[in-house]
Each structure stands twice: as structure tokens, then as C-alpha cells.
Amino acid sequence: MLIDSHCHIHDQDTYEFAFSRAQRKTLSAEDYTPEKLLARAEENDVKKLICIGTSHEDSIKARDFAEGHENVFWSYGVHPDEAEKYQVGLEGAPVAIGEIGLDYRNGIGNRENQFKLLEQMLQLAQDNDLPCIFHIRDAFDDFFAVLRNFPEIKRAVVHSFSDSPENLQKSLNEGFYIGVNGLATFADIPLPPLDRILLETDSPFLAPVPHRGEVDEPAFVKNIANFLAIHYQTTFEEVEKITTENTERLFKI
């Protein structure tokens, strides 16, 4: 059994956008409903999924979808891109707080707002004793500085890690897991030891080799596991076992 620890299949709008942008369309638009995505995941042995919230409203959508499916879990998060204007109010029982973090990809104009949002979300994780799902882009120094004020935050994954070997090591030193998705199959990014990896897709984006250009989906977790088996010169089953145990341990699912 495999787990997709980070997907957005509850978010139909994002899937429609990704489909409109896809360079290779092997399926039609109607094949990307949450139910069909879930069915294809199951056919490919991806038996548990975590739907990731990116705003208050989106998190509620993730919650409502997860509540109808035994093998779907959800997280409550407000993405740093929402830092200009956001609402926070945890309703329901998520398995994590995220995705949260800092993102300086489009400049640092709203840095103060991003700090404020991140601090509020870290407090929420601390108060509810929940693990965190971090999205950090070009902002690791500031991220570690904010984290120092929250010493109780010990359980987390840095999702879609694509930074330097130094920041990978610092994340590992914090005790965090690292989320590995399709990026690893086509970009040169540093990878942690297997016992610190969670598999994810971040679908509908970042489809792995050999699905580049297609809309990404949880079923493709299999391709990422395959890539890692080759990279670590081990078996698919070993990758499956270790990453599934890691994910179940972190999120208690």
C-alpha cells in the first residue's frame, strides 16, 4: 500500500486549471473528478490520501470530501500566498496543519504578513498538538528563525523540498520528514535518507516521469516510489513499506 501525503483532488477548480494548461492530455476533462481520481489511486494501490487545505474555504472543502471517504484525510492550512487577506478558524478534525510556511518566489513584499500568518498557524498546531505540513520557497533562513519561537513544533514534513543540501540537513536536524514528489524524477534536488521520506504528488501539478506534461494525480505516487527504488538501489516494496510507515507515524493515520 502506498500513500499520497499531499494532494489537492478535492479542489476541482485547480484541476480544471491544470487540465487547461496540460501539454499532454491522455484523458478527458471528465476523468478528473475527485471520485475518479480516487478510484484510479486505489487501482494503483494508493490506499490513503491526504487532501491539503490552502485557505480556510479550501480546507473546509477538503474536510467535506474527506468526511465522505474512509481512506481520505485532510489538513487545515492557509498557504503563504493568501497572507494579504485570510481567515482562520479550525472546524473539524484534520490530521495536520498545513500547507503553511513562507514563499518568497514572487518577492518579499508581503513578508510581514507571511510571518504573521505563519505564527498564527504554528500556534494553532501547537494548541491542537498536530503535525505541520510546510511549504517553504526561497525562505529557509526566515523560516528557521520563526520556528525558534515555537520549540514545541517537532512533528512536521517539509513538502516538495527543492532547496540546498544545507537546508535539507537543517530540516532533518529539526526532526522533520521530507515530502518527495514528481520533481525528484526530473530535477536535480538533494534527497534525504529513505527513513525520512514521505511520498506525495502535490497533484494536479508536478507530474513525475514518464507522465511529464500530463495532469498529475495520486495514482502516480507509484512512479515516484519506482524512481526512489532505483535511486537507492533497493526494491519497490522496501520504498513502499518505509514511506508508508513514515506517513502513518507522522499523521497517525
Whole-number CA gyration radius for the chain: 17
Residues in the interface with Zn ion (CB under 5 A) total: 2
- Give burial (CB, 10 Å; 0-12/13-18/19+) of 190: middle
Question: Smaller CB distance to Zn ion: residue 2 or 133?
Answer: 133
The cell numbers describing 134, all together, are 510546510
Mask for 34-73, x = binds Zn ion (CB under 5 A): ------------------x---------------------
Residue nearer to Zn ion on the CB measure, 202 or 214: 202
57-60 contacts, C-beta under 8 A, 24 or more apart: 57/87, 58/10, 58/11, 59/94, 60/91, 60/92
Q: Toward Zn ion, which CB reaches closer, 43 or 140?
A: 140
Q: Looking at 82, 202, 214, 216, which residue binds Zn ion (CB under 5 A)? A: 202
240 binds Zn ion (CB under 5 A): no
- The whole-angstrom separation of Cα 114 and Cα 135 is 12
Residues 105, 182: Cα–Cα separation, whole Å: 20
Residue 142's alpha-carbon distances to 26, 102, 148, in angstroms, are: 41, 8, 10
Residue of 67, 73, 12 lying closest to 215 (CA atoms): 12
β-sheet bridge partners, residue 96: 75
Q: Give the residue with the Cβ less far from Zn ion, 179 or 192.
A: 179
Strand order in the sheet with 72-76: 2-7, 46-52, 72-76, 96-103, 132-137, 156-158, 177-180, 197-199
Specify whether the CB–CB gap between 155 and 250 falls below 8 A. yes
Find the shortest distance in angstroms from Cβ 52 to Zn ion: 5
For the CB of residue 99, give the shortest distance to Zn ion in the complex, in Å.
5
Minimum separation from the CB atom of position 143 to Zn ion (A): 16
Task: Pick the piece of the chain touching Zn ion (CB under 5 A) from 150-158, 172-180, 201-209, 211-219.
Answer: 201-209
Report 14-33 residues binding Zn ion (CB under 5 A): none
Per 3-state DSSP, the chain is made up of helix, strand and coil in percentages (nearest 5) of 45, 15, 40
Closest CA to 164 of 147, 140, 181: 140
Minimum CB distance to Zn ion smaller for 52 or for 199: 52
Least distance from Zn ion to the Cβ atom of residue 200, Å: 8
The window from 136-144, 162-170, 183-191, 198-206 that contacts Zn ion (CB under 5 A) reads 198-206
CB of 133 to Zn ion, least distance (A): 8
Provide, rounded to whole angstroms, the least separation between the CB of residue 79 and Zn ion.
8
Q: Which range binds Zn ion by CB under 5 A, 18-26, 103-111, 148-156, 195-203?
A: 195-203
Which of residues 78 and 193 has its CB atom nearest to Zn ion in the complex? 78
Contact residues toward Zn ion (CB under 5 A) are: 52, 202
